[in-house]
């Protein structure tokens, strides 16, 4: 939601003192994966802030767009080695997880949690770059969280409403990792990375995983600052009103995200965006053929809880901490004090929007590998990774 609060408090932020200098503290795809066309059917985009209202659909009469092959979906097979469904009874969910294991028994796994409305494929390009730069010493696990992507509920349910409270999402992540890597003694070391809402989830999951004896070498938050996000939340409904109702095709969805600068990397958008739209279950000549998979407006009751307390919990995490912001984003007071005290590493990337990990996955991968190498030496006794 950084684009949201970036526009909402632009005038206020410009009056704040500058950011202090950065201080650095001491499945293979196969039988269990749907084919590429199924992947295409399946990823909600960042909310636009630097554009006018996008095209709206005229319900009276509308000529549908011909799909542009330049924005055709790309399979995730080239970005992850495995994709599978993981049944997690404790959460009552069948999680979709994308995974590239580390090639060494003492490897680390980058655990990626996406923001509201997105999917695990949001990290596809970053996963490929991170694996390459770490020379395979690190693996990557990216999940579709509750109510997103191809993660589904187990068995019948009494309500169609998803519980997207921050405590539930945090428990989901901890339960998933505890299911995949059931023995903490043989589990890999985790490097937790979360974008926006995902950053809040990872920060809260860190101490819970450590309480279960799992090793966490660091936690990384991508482009979210508590104070500014909370102040901008009242604008969310008007920004949601400015989004298209849907799209004529998966290509149309990708094209809209690219041409409105929601995502500035065409290849990443072609991988991630098809998973956040679904075919319209009631198609007609006046309605779009594809709709948003996750109705963000229905998550409104949870918005405040997602980000309240994020700064203090981030600063108190018992592991290395990295905050990566887009452009000239400012810190709130609590983070500014913590940064001057050297409690976390701060990086500000130029030329990117809210979707840092999609806009410039190569640069972010470099930062993450440097951060991992700087901090992984404090953990010893890493054992072999369990099978997914």
pLDDT digits (tens, 9 = 90+) for 298-353: 999 999 999 999 999 999 999 999 999 997 668 999 999 999 999 999 999 999 99
User: What's the pLDDT at 387?
Assistant: 41
Known catalytic residues are 196, 223, 354
User: What's the pLDDT at 155?
Assistant: 78
User: What's the pLDDT at 299?
Assistant: 92
User: What's the pLDDT at 97?
Assistant: 98
Instruction: Give percent of the chain above pLDDT 90.
Output: 70
CA 243-122-218 angle, to 5 degrees, is 125
User: What's the pLDDT at 377?
Assistant: 65
User: What's the pLDDT at 137?
Assistant: 94
CATH class of the domain comprising 2-168+175-378 = alpha beta
Which is nearest to 250 in space by CA: 67, 104, 62, 95? Answer: 67
User: What's the pLDDT at 159?
Assistant: 65
The C-alpha atoms of residue 264 and residue 26 are separated, in whole angstroms, by 34
| Segments in the chain below pLDDT 70 | 1-62, 157-159, 328-329, 377-388
pTM of the predicted protein model: 0.83
89-116: per-residue pLDDT in tens? 999 999 999 999 999 877 899 999 999 9
User: What's the pLDDT at 287?
Assistant: 85
User: What's the pLDDT at 311?
Assistant: 97
Domain boundary assignment for the chain: 2-168+175-378
User: What's the pLDDT at 36?
Assistant: 40
């Amino acid at each position: 939601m950084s684009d949201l609060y970036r526009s909402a408090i632009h005038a206020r932020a410009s009056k704040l003192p500058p950011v202090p200098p950065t201080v650095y503290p001491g499945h293979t795809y196969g039988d269990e994966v749907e084919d590429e066309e199924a992947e295409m059917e399946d990823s909600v985009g960042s909310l636009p802030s630097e554009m006018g209202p996008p095209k709206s659909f005229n319900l009276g009469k509308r000529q549908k767009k011909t799909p542009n092959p330049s924005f055709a979906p790309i399979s995730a097979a080239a970005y992850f080695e495995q994709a599978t469904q993981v049944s997690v009874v404790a959460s009552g969910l069948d999680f979709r997880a994308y995974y590239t294991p580390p090639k060494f028994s003492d490897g680390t796994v980058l655990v990626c949690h996406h923001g509201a409305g997105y999917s695990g494929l949001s990290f596809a390009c970053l996963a490929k770059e991170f694996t390459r730069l770490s020379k395979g010493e690190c693996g990557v696990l990216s999940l579709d969280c509750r109510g997103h992507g191809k993660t589904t509920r187990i068995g019948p349910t009494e309500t169609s409403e998803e519980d997207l409270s921050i405590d539930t999402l945090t428990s989901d992540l901890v339960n998933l990792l505890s299911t995949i890597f059931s023995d903490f003694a043989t589990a890999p070391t985790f490097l937790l990375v979360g974008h926006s809402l995902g950053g809040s989830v990872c920060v809260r999951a860190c101490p819970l995983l450590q309480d279960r004896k799992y090793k966490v070498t660091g936690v990384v938050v991508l482009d979210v600052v508590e104070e500014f996000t909370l102040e901008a939340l009242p604008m969310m409904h008007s920004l949601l009103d400015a989004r298209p109702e849907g799209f004529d095709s998966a290509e149309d969805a990708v094209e809209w995200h690219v041409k409105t600068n929601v995502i500035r990397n065409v290849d990443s958008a072609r991988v991630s965006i098809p998973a956040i739209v679904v075919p319209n279950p009631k198609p007609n000549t006046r309605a779009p053929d594809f709709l948003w998979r996750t109705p963000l407006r229905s998550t409104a009751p949870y918005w405040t809880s997602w980000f309240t307390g994020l700064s203090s919990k981030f600063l108190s995490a018992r592991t290395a901490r990295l905050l990566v912001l887009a452009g000239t984003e400012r810190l709130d007071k609590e983070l500014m004090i913590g940064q001057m005290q050297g409690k976390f590493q701060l990086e500000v990337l130029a030329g990117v929007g809210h979707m840092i990990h999609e806009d410039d996955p190569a640069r972010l991968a470099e930062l993450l590998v440097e951060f991992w190498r700087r901090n992984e030496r404090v953990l010893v006794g890493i054992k072999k990774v369990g099978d997914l």
